[in-house]
Amino acid sequence: MNTLLFPLEDAKISVIGLGYVGLPLAVEFAKKYPVVGFDISSSRVSQLSQGIDHTLEVEDELLQSVLETSKSYLDQKKGGFYPTSDPRDIADSNVYVVTVPTPTDKHNRPVLTPMLKASESISKVLKKGDVVVYESTVYPGVTEEECVPVLESGSGLTFNQDFFVGYSPERINPGDKEHTVSKILKVTSGSCPEAADFIDDLYKSVITAGTFKATSIKVAEAAKVIENSQRDINIAFVNELSKIFNLLDIDTQEVLEAAGTKWNFLPFRPGLVGGHCISVDPFYLAQKAQEVGYHPEIILAGRRLNDSMGKHVATEVIKHMMRKDLKVMESKVLILGFTFKEDCPDVRNTRVIDIYQELRNFDINVDVYDPWANSEEVAHEYKINVLSSEKQPDLSEYSAIILAVAHKEFKAWTIQKSDKQVVYDVKGMLDKTLVDARL
């Protein structure tokens, strides 16, 4: 091992970014190592300091069990977690794990600003022998070609001589209580063989599912970006099937159920594709492909098709309203669910907003009910108000009901079609006989 690299048991970790990815990882590390969690949001840090996680990714009891009210109480042998918004608090660490968002702009171009800002903050405290690991989803080359120069410039240190980097792509599945961070096999990589071994051993010490050491950082970066691109393309295929079968008056769910009896048929279902990964990552791969002179066709076609589904749902609902001779303009429509997936409070890049906006284009009065979504966050991010979650809305008031997200609460509701109302099931959660149509 490189003489500059320290023994694993001496690791002192800072996790940069305490969102859906960073917090669960920080808490897992904190069971064994002293961990400082840094986030630029003082309100987020304040909440975590009280042992509360609004993302619901970490149970409050578990968070409280590793939480330390003072950085001085972090124990090298027992671990502990100290959240902070003061960048000076990360100075004592020797391992920095970056878990900040990697969004796209309005033109679907990658935005690396959060990663570069995080790198800049780390560079100010970077010391000889330190290790920086990136988990944020990127296209191949970002870690070494974009982030490393920032680390070198700000620290005055030399890459792979004074400090080392690695890439270990996050695989968090928001809302999934079965496939938690420690139970998902982790891909790791390092900037040199010694760093790769160190980073792999570090993750292996807390990830019970084990690790897979990639041959290079670029391989690990590429592996991550194609994981979600593959899912996006597969979902786009069944979404296109749904549009075709709708024109043929064939139920898509029944077709997929029949086809699924073949052992190697992939069990994808049609739906809205939102969130922070699947609907974003393909653009990162496409950007890099275009930089080297290749225009990706299947990847971008899949993105266009999946992004069209919200408008498609709204159009189908209006068609069914007209068939029942229901008034469209100034009518009332209820959308059930706003988060990007079921049983999860995450509203980032939810495509339910596309249904809402398309209906509003027809001067329809649209109400949104979601017991999981934070009303303040929805209002801030999307400029719409959701109904109070304190009581169930009166379904009889609406000309159409769109079940957009399959929250477990909705399964207990009595929802069924009538001559005076349209019921459209985006998720295929309800029995076919109870709805007018479904994807």
Active site residues: 277
Q: Is 424 helix (H, G, I), strand (E, B) or coil?
A: strand
Report the SS3 class of residue 369.
Answer: strand
Place of tokens 């680390």: 151
Question: What residues pair up with 437 in beta bridges, in sequence order?
Answer: 424
Task: Write out the E strands in 128-219.
Answer: 131-134, 164-167, 186-188, 211-213
List, in order, residues 6 or more apart from 281 with CB less than 8 Å away.
137, 224, 225, 227, 228, 229, 232
Name residue 366's beta-bridge partners. Answer: 333
Tokens of 107: 């033109």
In terms of C-beta distances under 8 Å and separation of at least 24 residues, what long-range contacts does 3-7 make, across chains too? Answer: 4/128, 4/129, 4/162, 5/129, 5/131, 5/164, 5/194, 5/195, 5/198, 6/94, 6/129
Is residue 256 classed as helix, strand or coil in its secondary structure? helix
CA atoms within 13 A on the CB side of 97: 30
3-class DSSP state of 190: strand
Q: Taking the chain, what is the end-to-end CA distance rounded to the nearest angstrom?
A: 55
How would you class 302 by CB atoms within 10 Å of its CB: exposed for 0-12, middle for 13-18, buried for 19 or more?
Answer: buried
- For 108-210, strand residue ranges (E) read 131-134, 164-167, 186-188
d(CA 206, CA 210) in angstroms, rounded, equals 9
